[in-house]
Amino acid sequence: METELFIGGKWVPASSGNRFDVLDPATGDTVASVADGGETDAIAAVDAAAAAGPAWAATPPRVRGEVLRKAFELMTERAAELARLISLENGKALTDAKGEVTYAAEFFRWFAEEAVRGEGIATTAPSGANKILVVRQPVGVCVLVTPWNFPAAMATRKIGPALAAGCTVILKPASDTPLTALAMAAILAEAGVPEGVVNVLPSRSSGAVVGRMLRDSRVRKLSFTGSTEVGRILLAQAAENVVNTSMELGGNAPFVVFADADLDAAIEGAMLAKMRNGGEACTAANRFFVESSVAPEFSRRLAARMSQLVVGPGTDEKTQVGPLVNEDTVAKVDSLVKGAIDAGAEAITGGARPEGTGFYYPPTVLTGVAADSPILREEIFGPVAPIVTFTGEAEAVRLANDTEYGLVAYVYTADIGRGMRVSEAIEAGMVGLNRGLVSDPAAPFGGVKQSGIGREGGHDGLLEYLESKYIAVNW
């Protein structure tokens, strides 16, 4: 298990000699000590990426694609060990971790195929005066900042299109989960990525390190996945050098259940949308809006399913819900639930943090939640389902849109016409209609409002790393 910085194709210590500990969320014990990169290391990574840029951009797209294909194959071969590593530093159940590895590897396979599809256009100007030729060129050196909740998938979702487009990258992983990112660097090097094309910079000084790279004129792209609060800061910093940005920010997903919905399917979808990754996902169902006539039955059945989940260390094969990632996260979830209960909500399962070691919180269902409750305003990032009732389609849409976020929404109804109307009316970049899962490497992932800018995945994901150059020419 590599624990140094990965810069210019080599494993190197931090220039300061500093290191930081990575903790097991199940016990609070130290898993490993990792090199703590600083601003000097950040510029060294930019140096390496800039030096490798021209040759990688000139590499034939098919060759770039084959490298990504090899990385996909290596990830698939090592899925079990990667899943265990994710569980160890992130806390998620092995089942979730295995699913993440499969999902993460698929981005390399998808963009291996997309590498040859950076098409331009050639046409005649309407006036007939000249030809219009548009070519696609790599944007350049990219800084990629990833969160802790999907340490493999968020890395491959950015690295894959960047490399396919001919860009070089510096990956800054979350300090809670740097080990998976370093493992990805080793896999990419083995797959044939040239020195300097991929650099990985773990650091506890995230703001200073990323800010320093954004002030370097050689950096032309920032792709960030994380909180809206941090995203706003990075957008301001990127504006100083007019850096191209992609932002996948916070979510506050509504899960809308109409009275005519297939409740069996709605419960299955709710379990997937809420409990994937233990609720620590930007796509997690955060606010449950259930038509009043079916709300009691839906609530009872959801609580019954949630209460049966096995909570324990993520690395235990029997575990279905692991610990949350750190103390701050579990304390926030506990505070939100206590606030809702104090305001009149009822926890019909869960609702209190257990005693003992580890950052655990039980699967929780809250009923009687007021529509203006603070728990509905924040991204919970935990295994908690607050349920609010509604009485009609217009009210459901109004409640779903009553948030500054707009990443994803879920809608369950047997009336496909209503399903499409509501899907179009809800302000979100993605909608799961009678589905509890929307993420797919072949589809554009991203939000509206305060949930972000740009798209990842699909053909759109490749275009985020390409610039269009127009050439006016006669022939």
Q: What is the spatial order of strands in the sheet that 408-412 belongs to?
A: 346-349, 364-367, 384-390, 285-291, 253-257, 408-412, 430-433
Our measurement of the distance from residue 268's CA atom to the centroid of its chain's CA atoms, rounded to an integer in Å, reads: 22
Return the sign of the alpha-carbon dihedral for residues 238, 240, 242, 243: negative
**pLDDT on residue 400:** 98
pLDDT reported for residue 212: 98
Work out the burial of residue 394: count CB atoms within 10 Å of its CB; fewer than 13 is exposed, 13-18 middle, 19 or more buried.
Answer: exposed
**Residue 236: strand, helix, or coil:** helix
For 389-393, which contacts have Cβ atoms below 8 Å and span 24 or more sequence positions?
A: 389/289, 389/290, 389/291, 389/292, 389/295, 390/289, 390/290, 390/291, 390/292, 391/291, 391/292, 393/258, 393/418, 393/421, 393/422
The whole-angstrom separation of Cα 83 and Cα 105 is: 12
Tokens 């809250």 label which residue?
A: 366
Average pLDDT of the residues in 63-82: 98
pLDDT at 456: 98
- Give the pLDDT confidence score for residue 99 in this predicted structure: 97
Q: What is the mean pLDDT of the chain?
A: 97
Q: Could you give phi then psi for residue 459, rounded to 5 degrees?
A: -70, -30
| Nearest CA-CA partner of 153 in 95, 94, 75, 84 | 75
- Give me 317's structure tokens: 């094969």
- For residue 385, what is the DSSP state? E
Whether the per-residue pLDDT at 346 is higher than 90: the answer is yes
pLDDT at 414 over 90: yes
Average pLDDT over residues 8-16: 98
The strands making up 121-124's β-sheet, listed across from edge to edge, are 121-124, 131-138, 466-473
Give 125-157 pLDDT, tens digit per residue.
Answer: 999 999 999 999 999 999 999 999 999 999 999
- What percentage of the chain reaches a pLDDT higher than 70? 100
Q: Would you name the residues annotated as active-site residues? A: 248, 282
Query: Is residue 101 packed enough to be buried (19+ CB in 10 Å), middle (13-18) or exposed (0-12)?
Result: buried
Find the angle CA(120)-CA(465)-CA(166) to the nearest 5 degrees: 80
Kindly state the average pLDDT of the residues 152-170. 98
CB 137 within 8 A of CB 466: yes
DSSP class of residue 436 equals: S
Confidence class for position 372, pLDDT limits 50, 70, 90: confident
In 3D, which of 321, 324, 291 has the Cα closest to residue 307? Answer: 321
Write the DSSP string, 348-383: EE--SPPSSSS-----EEEES--TT-GGGTS---SS
Cα atoms found within 13 Å of the Cα of residue 24, Cβ hemisphere only = 17
Query: Which amino acid is it at 61?
Result: P
Read off the pLDDT band of 1 (50, 70, 90).
confident
pLDDT in tens, 100-121: 999 999 999 999 999 999 999 9
Q: What pLDDT sits at residue 325?
A: 94
Q: Is the pLDDT of residue 234 over 90?
A: yes
Q: What is the mean pLDDT of residues 162-190?
A: 98
Q: What pLDDT score was predicted for residue 118? A: 92
Beta-carbon neighbour count of residue 475 at 10 Å?
6
d(CA 203, CA 22): 11
Percent of the chain past pLDDT 90, that is, above it, reads 99
Distance CA 251, CA 445 (A): 12
Report the distance separating Cα 276 and Cα 268, nearest Å: 12
Residue with tokens 């001919």: 166
The CA distance from 470 to 448, in Å, is 29
SS3 annotation, 249-292: CCCCEEEEECCCCCHHHHHHHHHHHHHHHHHCCCCCEEEEEEEC
Q: Which of 45, 49, 38, 47 is nearest to 14 (CA)?
A: 38
Residues 316-339 pLDDT 10s: 999 999 999 999 999 999 999 999
Q: What are the backbone dihedrals phi and psi of residue 468, each rounded to the nearest 5 degrees, phi first?
A: -90, 125
- Give yes or no for residue 397 having a pLDDT over 90: yes
The pLDDT score that the predictor gives to residue 371 is: 85
- Strand, helix or coil at 87? helix
**Residue 221 CB neighbour total at 10 angstroms:** 24
**What is the CB neighbour count within 10 angstroms for residue 443?**
16
What DSSP letter does each residue of 284-352 carry, written as one string?
SEEEEEEETTTHHHHHHHHHHHHHTSPBS-TTSTT-SB---SSHHHHHHHHHHHHHHHHTT-EEEE--S
Residue 11, SS3?
strand
3-state helix, strand, coil in the chain (%, to 5): 40, 20, 35
DSSP sequence for 60-76: -HHHHHHHHHHHHHHHH
